[in-house]
Amino acid sequence: MFKDDAAGTRQGDLGSIIIVVATDAPLIPTQLKRLARRATMGLARTGSTSGNGSGDIFLAFSTANPHANDEPGPNTVQTVANERISPLFSATVEATEEAIVNAMVGAKTMTGIDGHTVPGLPHEQLQQVLKKYGR
């Protein structure tokens, strides 16, 4: 995230984000890693980019295969074939974008330490901007 100073000059990235993708789709660790990478596309759709100082974290987990580690093993694990995983990638992108927009809309004006106030976004203006850019 960038911020303009009083002179209108852009100041470097000022934040980080943690995105957690949870699914009940039966995916193995390599597929979950690929799914987590798609969350960056949802973030980018909101206009954000990652900067040098940004500590962005993207995680994905599945609740499928709850008995994969049961003793004594070996155990059977189900998974989606790689050839059929693309719809899950698309869903991840869309859900990430939606979650970020929901967080922005849900944010209220806050006053923090030393009286620093951050205003909530005006919803009507946000809707206009999103509509303008096909979001």
What pLDDT score was predicted for residue 1?
Answer: 45
Strand, helix or coil for residue 109: coil
CB 64 within 8 A of CB 29: no
The answer to whether residue 14 scores a pLDDT higher than 90 is no
CA quadruple 115, 120, 121, 122: dihedral positive or negative? negative
Say which DSSP state 80 is in: -
CATH topology of domain 3-96: arginine biosynthesis bifunctional protein fold (3.30.2330)
What pLDDT score was predicted for residue 49?
Answer: 80
User: Where are the domains positioned within the chain?
Assistant: 3-96
| Active-site choice (5, 56, 62, 86) | 56
CB 19 within 8 A of CB 59: yes
- Identify which of 55-59, 91-95, 116-120, 127-131 has the greatest average pLDDT: 91-95
Residues 31-80 pLDDT 10s: 999 999 999 999 999 888 877 878 899 999 999 999 999 999 899 999 99
Q: Taking the model in full, what pTM does it have?
A: 0.77
| Active-site choice (4, 13, 50, 54) | 54
CB 78 within 8 A of CB 26: yes
Residue 54 catalytic?
yes
Residue 90 catalytic?
no
Residue 70 catalytic?
no
